Structure 1
């Protein structure tokens, strides 16, 4: 009985180990990561009067732009957690990546981007925006 249980456990471990499929990144993503990317970096400091819900709605609206504007090739964001104390009150950082200056030129006046700015405005204390071509 103990041998049967032991062999069953070993068999299950063997199946679990070798039946897992390896997930591969889509080919398109690999090609994008090999391209030189134009990074549009946006930092926000929100008004003290803005609620957590207000800030979350701004975050969601900004994140959704990648679904609305095809020229956005990559999007990433997070909140500041630097221990250095040099953030000047900025709490949120967003990276929007493009493959060309032409794509950025489409993004900036895009109606969906303008809609986002209108959602942001009542809650924004200050912003800092820099763009650069990523070097490897």
Structure 2
């Protein structure tokens, strides 16, 4: 399994309702890409408070690298990606992506 981790520093003037709408658009991709197992999204609630401005994020789990590649090429993902970049501090500089292979039992 591949866990796709995305952290976002949204523009400070972006209303939480708009963030919620962006995440609704993200969740609408579920069921449209073969191998996309689930998506989780939200605002950080970390007691450590070391988010460094990355207060929102999501994870998407894929069966394998091919499924992640299909997701990256999907038109709904491309549209959402453009919306994320447009609403992040500094555009693409306000987004971190980390893809982590997870073996059975680590989930």
Short-chain TM bin:
0.7 to 0.9
Q: TM-score, normalised by structure 2?
A: 0.83
CA RMSD between the two structures? 1.4
Do the aligned residues in 2 keep the contact of 1:69 with 1:112 (CA within 8 Å)?
A: no
Gaps of 5+ in 1: 1-36
Query: Which structure is richer in relative contact order (CA contacts within 8 A, separation 6 or more)?
Result: 2
Structure 1 residues 49-77: Cα deviation after superposition (integer angstroms, max 9, x where no partner): 21222212111111111133233112112
Do the aligned residues in 2 keep the contact of 1:54 with 1:123 (CA within 8 Å)?
A: no
Of residues 94, 104, 108, the one that matches 2:68 is: 104
Count of matched residue pairs? 100
Gaps of 5+ in 2: none
Distance 1:102 1:122 in 2: 27
Alignment partner of 1:71 is 2:35: yes
Q: Residues 1-136 of structure 1 correspond to what in structure 2 (within 5 A)?
A: 37-125=1-89, 126-135=94-103, 136=106
Q: TM-score, normalised by structure 1?
A: 0.67
Give the SS at the match of 1:86.
Answer: coil
Runs of 4+ in 1 over 3 A off after TM superposition: none
